[in-house]
Each structure stands twice: as structure tokens, then as C-alpha cells.
Amino acid sequence: MKIRGIEEITAVAGFAKGALYYHFETKEELFDLMIEEGTKLLNNSIELKFRHCKNALDKLKAILMIEIKTIINYEDLITVVINNTLGETSRTKKCQKAVNSYVEKIEDIINEGIEEGIFYERNTEAIAYGIFGVTFSSLLFRLKRDRKVTAEEIYNGYVDTVVRGITK
């Protein structure tokens, strides 16, 4: 769903337009808050999951599950972010920064796995963007076709394929 106006935002949020204008003067302020809070939520989820991980492979599996659950639970927001990553506007730069920050976390995990001797030494940036891109695009495609998909089904069918190519 692409939200084009304040009326659509308030309809989705379930409150009056006046309440929205009380807190935000422009759609851009609201957009900025959504990106900021979405990024915080994702980072908090990653931090909490990583506390229980023993190595880089566990972290990679955890971050894949987090990405899958985030896409399922926040499909509209994620779609807006991805759709706004091309171009040179201030909005696209914010979305690019959010995506790049997330992909850097994947790259850090891959580098950690190389240091641990778990993963093959490869172009970590390309692998990180590949993992993000394949996970995002395949899951979004599947969601568009079948809304009854669960995070666990996607994860179980996907995690082995993703880690098999980089694991020693």
C-alpha cells in the first residue's frame, strides 16, 4: 500500500486528522519518525537476539529470522523504504542510510564468521547485499502471492540455502 496523503495516513493509523497535525506539521516529519523508530526497533531486535548467539553462524541465522519477521510484520513500511532508496532526495538518502546500516550488520557478521573460520573468505559487502536483497525480494514476492505464509516456514525453507554458500 502506498500512502499518498494525510487522509490515508490517519485512516491507516485509526485516528483523526487533527490529532496528526497536532504532532506533525508535515508528512515528511511523520516519515522521518517512521524511519527512525523502525530503525530503532530493528536494531533492538538484533541486539536482543545476538545476546543468545554463540558464533557468527548463529548471528546470521538470527538476523535472517529478524529480517523475515520484520518484512512480514511491517510489509508496508519496508516497501515504502525500499521504494524510496533510488534517487538523490533527502528522503531517499534517509532510506539508503537505513538500508545500508542494516546491510553493514550482515557484513559485520560475515566478517566475524571469516575470522572464526566458519565462512569462506569472499567479498563480504557483495554477500551482505545479496543476502538482504534475496531475502527481501523473495519474501515480498511470496507475501504478495500468499498472505498465509509464516516466518518459520520461510526461515526453514530459506536459511539452509543462504548459509550453505558461505559456510565451510
- Closest to 45 in 3D by CA, of 33, 54, 53: 53
Q: What is the mean pLDDT of the chain?
A: 84
Number of domain units in the chain:
1
* Domain assignment of residue 30, yes or no: no
Grid cell for residue 13 = 493509523
Residue range of the domain that includes 133: 42-164
For residue range 28-80, what is the model confidence (pLDDT) as tens digits? 887 888 888 889 989 999 999 999 999 999 999 999 999 988 888 887 788 88
Q: Kindly report the pTM of this predicted structure.
A: 0.81
For residue range 111-133, what is the model confidence (pLDDT) as tens digits? 999 999 999 998 999 999 999 98
Q: Tell me, what DSSP letter sits at residue 119? A: B
* Domain assignment of residue 11, yes or no: no
Q: In sequence order, which ranges of 24-116 are alpha helices (DSSP H)?
A: 27-50, 56-73, 75-83, 90-115
CA distance 50 to 129: 20
Grid cell for residue 29 = 516529519
Domain CATH number, residue 73? 1.10.357.10
What confidence score (pLDDT) does residue 45 get? 93
* Domain assignment of residue 137, yes or no: yes
* Dihedral sign computed on CA atoms, order 36, 129, 74, 50: negative
